[in-house]
Structure 1
Amino acid sequence: MRRRFDSADSLMALLLAVLVVVWTLLMAVSHGAPDLDGMEELVWAVTLEWGYTKHPPLPSWILYALAQLLGRPLWLPFFAGMCSSALALWFLWRLGREFTSAGKAAAGVLLVSVTLYFSIRGTIYNHDTAQLWSVAACTWLFYRALRHQQRSTWVWLGITAALCTLTKYSAVILFTAFFCFMLRHGSFRDARTVRGVGHALIAFGVVFAPHLLWLVMSDFAPFRYAGGSLEAGGRLDALRDAFSFIGTQAARLSPMVVAWLIWRAWERRRPATRFEPEDNERWSSGLTPWDISFLRWVGLTPVIATLLVSTLLGTRLVAAWGTTFFMLWGFYMLWVIRGEERETLRRIAIVVIAVQLAMALGYAVARGPLAWWNGRPARSTFPGAEISATINQIWAEHLPGIPLRVVASDTWLGGNIALNSGVDVQVFINGRADESPWLDAEQAVECGLLVVYSRVTRRGGEPAPELVALYERARYSGVAEQRWSSQRSPIIDLNWAILPPTARCTTR
């Protein structure tokens, strides 16, 4: 299944590695804390669980593995998100080389790389971003499975599809696109395809079975969470969501169009040397009808189907849910590119690199120095290290010689305190055992517990009732204050309480 690694592969791998390094470094120096989703994954990644109340487990497993190698630095989610983005681009590159030349495939991959889902939002390590690589890998394997009908490819497709589903259940949207394409082309009339699908389903079942068992045992908790996330105020609200969704997706795809327009202006001002008449043809002219149909059905079905279902059923539609829907759209640019391949690719690469650097530097400055100076309560300027130091000092004053092990708080505030306190400190999320499967909740309370909440960090919201109940049980309590960033920023109220260890503590 694997062709030999050539010089074009090496160059693409180098470019993608540089992409990861540049974005990770800039986020590390400009951010004082990860984004909310990245913090949630860091909090979850203290153990290997078969599932969580909100999502399936694979993104947390990946972060757990990285944490075993690198510890829990605050930049780890940025790195993990950009690795997922780069790996997705790599599989798109492999897909592009299946149906066109290396140069044209590279142009499509480079252009799609500047969309926000592979750049700015690629730094946000949530289940949408974490799914990028597996969606791209599934798409490549699905193409190869239908084209070459090798049993090993079908098996790998089933394994990767299971990993995609273990990342987020929305993988079913991608599988719907695959099914529609096969119906359109009568693939099920081919006995080899039927056998291949069978092999893929068996491989999928083997990988997914343990999580399915966990779902049954947890009464399908993530599905209940997903059901609540889909609730909207009716079809009119759903229609508003659809228009908002379309507008946001257009904005997030716009850097690709901007990069193409810059290249086009350069080409008009100083045309690249053309050696053959065919250089004036659109780059899409060499695609077969089957390949064109593949790009259209697999590339367009997810967004069209999602919009239709949301509008008809009156369900909520969030812009981030479109993260994986547009990765094939870079190849659509082949319809609007002409010219000698080598020189055209060189120019597109220069434009894309410039746009990537401008976006990375601009985002780092906006989320770092500018946000701090403006005093805006941004996640990126959150004083997690300072708050953690203050809370640890309070703990040490009341319980000298007893290490802090568990922080009962919401994911954001508790995560910032825990990650800046040490690798052994865990978060008791909202004081709820079901949200913190890595803890023995009873022993956590009996062996010494710090409770912290803030209405400022919750944007005026109230803490969870379970957290308030723990707070009221505490022997020691008080309020500390910490300014968010500059003197223009709000003051954070740190409502803290300490439950000392009891004689019922059995943890050594």
Structure 2
Amino acid sequence: MNSSTSPESNVSGNSKLSRFCNLDPNNAQQLKIATLAYIGFNFLLWTVLAILSQTAPHKDNVEELFWIQHFDWGYPKFGPISTWWVYAWVSLLGRSFWVTYVAGQINVALMLLVVWRISLLIMSPARALMAVVLTSLITYHSINGIQASSNLLQLFPTALFLWSLLLAVRNQNWWRWVLVGVTGAICLLTKYSAGIWFAVMGIWVLTDSRMHSLKAMKGVFIAIAAGVIATIPHILWLIRENAPTIQYMRFQVSGEINHMSQVAKFIASQMGKLSPIIIALLVLNFTFRRGPHDMMAPDVKIDQPKEMRFIAFAAIGPMLLTSLLGTAFISLHANWATSYFIMLGAFALRWVPLVNERRALKQVLRIGLALNITIACGTALYYGLVADLMSKTPRANFPAKQLGSKVDQIWKEHSEGPFKIVIGETWIAGVASVMSKHQPLVVPYGNYAEAAAVNPELVRRCGAMVLVDPSEGKLNPNMRAFLERAAKNGSFNIPWNRFKQKPLYEVNWAIIEPEIKNACPQ
């Protein structure tokens, strides 16, 4: 039976959505256009709704926006790639919060594009499109997709690494192994957790029969050499700066913990992030069981078994290895798994019933679009309206614009020179910097080591504003030292709500006067 004549399609056959979902699985060009259209729609859906609904971004976005004020081969917590990525988009579009949403979602879109290209090497174009749709439903790629964190921005580099590795194993060209090394280096320079990927895919390489020769293994050494060469500038930066990123990594993974309990929480958190794709698979199987049995057909193109091992390693390997390490060695953080599920959509196709491809593709598109739109609109509605009506205070509805205006007003009233430097906790200082018309440099927590663009001499010449959120608790010694130098201080309150005058957000401020009059560079 042809699904185009079924009662189901006749009901909505005239709608654009129905025509989009009712694709010909044998028309590769049509499927290519549909895949690109879906990726573009996904990008616009999440980016536009975030811009319209959220007044402030995730804390990591704010952090990247003040790190880009200094261009270097490394930053206090991570390698340079994520910051360079944000820097590129800010250079093009300006230093605003919404630009970080664009940067995050373009990264997701490019990752989905690479997932599609990898899938085309292994399965039919129809199933490759289904893999893209299922991958897009994972919470890390949707709700978290507007975060400009190193975890999120590792998605595209990791996808490139997987793609280049698969092509190198299949074709065995030396230059492909060079690409493996370079993409691996980009992955590592985004976040060191790329080491998990290297271990997992290294095991796959060693177990793949195509690599069981000296000639093939030479390619691995070429990749390692290329990767090391590509990371040399960062290594030199580590030596020069006393390796702050490695110190931060040690801090993140250390601590006295109940390992088994934390692993259980880690896995439970990941199941929550994967819930949309799980729901999609359950609905798909339910609808197919209820459908007519004569829809079952032998026209399904079976995926290449050898390459499905690659998909399996990529889809579940990083999660398994991280959980294993967490049982005895390291502390675990849920967001570390952000890049772990890039190939899970392709892997999940084994749970999509082997029915007529036209019908399967139609159902995947319908369910995927329905879930994606529902989750996106629900998220935007919560942050754009419900949170304020319920007097909730997630950072996404923070009064960023009001804070920037108030800070500028205070500086104008109490200081004569240019507003060049703001000192404070990452969030309040970073938001003030972005929203101020002066775009001051940031010294997070009063720590010069985290603000390469600022030095004590610049503070002496230009002065600074110190901002304190009293709810943060006890101040560190650096912050106390700056406050002791302040000549003027005060406080103000702004409503953390777009519709009500409460709850109020309290801010303490202090101004450090320049020690040298008229010496601050304009």
1:92-146 deviation digits (Å, cap 9, x = unpaired):
1111111111111111221121010111111222111000111111111111110
Of residues 328, 332, 337, the one that matches 2:347 is 332
479-488 vs 61-70, greater mean Cα deviation: 479-488
RMSD: 2.0
1:322 aligns with 2:343: no
CA displacement at 1:489 relative to structure 2: 4.2
Aligned in 2, Cα 1:467/1:502: closer, same or farther, shift over 3 Å?
same
Distance 2:134 2:443 in 1: 43
CA displacement at 1:186 relative to structure 2: 5.3
Distance 1:273 1:437 in 2: 67
1:42 aligns with 2:65: yes
Distance 1:344 1:198 in 2: 43
Distance 1:409 1:247 in 2: 35
Aligned to 1:117, the other structure's residue is in SS state helix
CA contact (8 A) 2:77 2:248 kept: yes
Of residues 61, 70, 77, the one that matches 1:54 is 77
Distance 1:192 1:98 in 2: 23
1:196 aligns with 2:219: yes
CA displacement at 1:185 relative to structure 2: 2.8
CA displacement at 1:153 relative to structure 2: 1.7
1:439-466 deviation digits (Å, cap 9, x = unpaired):
233213431211111123x3xx223321
Between the aligned residues of both structures, percent identity stands at 29
Partner of 1:265: 286
Partner of 2:96: 73
Of residues 201, 218, 240, the one that matches 1:217 is 240
CA displacement at 1:483 relative to structure 2: 2.2
CA displacement at 1:199 relative to structure 2: 2.4
For 1:146, the aligned partner's letter is: V
CA contact (8 A) 1:374 1:488 kept: no
Distance 2:146 2:293 in 1: 35
Partner of 2:37: 14
Aligned to 2:320, the other structure's residue is in SS state helix
Distance 1:135 1:56 in 2: 15
Aligned to 2:72, the other structure's residue is in SS state coil
Matches within 5 A, 1:99-138: 99-138=122-161
1:493 aligns with 2:518: no
1:373 aligns with 2:381: no
CA contact (8 A) 1:377 1:489 kept: no
1:244 aligns with 2:265: yes
Distance 2:501 2:227 in 1: 53
Q: Please list every run of 5 or more consecutive structure 1 residues that lacks an aligned counterpart in the other structure.
A: none
Distance 1:179 1:264 in 2: 34
Aligned in 2, Cα 1:278/1:497: closer, same or farther, shift over 3 Å?
same
Distance 1:330 1:316 in 2: 28
1:502 aligns with 2:515: yes
Partner of 2:372: 356
CA displacement at 1:423 relative to structure 2: 6.2
Aligned to 1:323, the other structure's residue is in SS state helix
CA displacement at 1:167 relative to structure 2: 0.3
1:462 aligns with 2:438: no
CA displacement at 1:9 relative to structure 2: 3.2
CA contact (8 A) 1:39 1:415 kept: yes
Aligned to 2:332, the other structure's residue is in SS state coil
**How high is the TM-score relative to the length of structure 2?**
0.90
Partner of 2:118: 95
Of residues 295, 298, 307, the one that matches 1:277 is 298
Distance 1:367 1:494 in 2: 23
Partner of 1:426: 441
Distance 1:129 1:353 in 2: 22
1:298 aligns with 2:314: yes
For 1:76, the aligned partner's letter is: V
1:77-105 deviation digits (Å, cap 9, x = unpaired):
22211111111111111111111111111
Of residues 472, 475, 482, the one that matches 2:494 is 482
CA displacement at 1:298 relative to structure 2: 3.0
Partner of 1:228: 251
CA contact (8 A) 1:454 1:463 kept: no
Distance 1:454 1:406 in 2: 17
CA displacement at 1:46 relative to structure 2: 1.7
1:388 aligns with 2:409: no
Aligned to 1:312, the other structure's residue is in SS state coil
492-501 vs 289-298, greater mean Cα deviation: 289-298
CA contact (8 A) 2:428 2:468 kept: yes
CA contact (8 A) 2:67 2:83 kept: yes
Aligned in 2, Cα 1:133/1:273: closer, same or farther, shift over 3 Å?
farther
Distance 1:85 1:499 in 2: 42
**How high is the TM-score relative to the length of structure 1?**
0.92
Distance 1:72 1:404 in 2: 17
Q: Tell me the matched-pair count.
A: 492
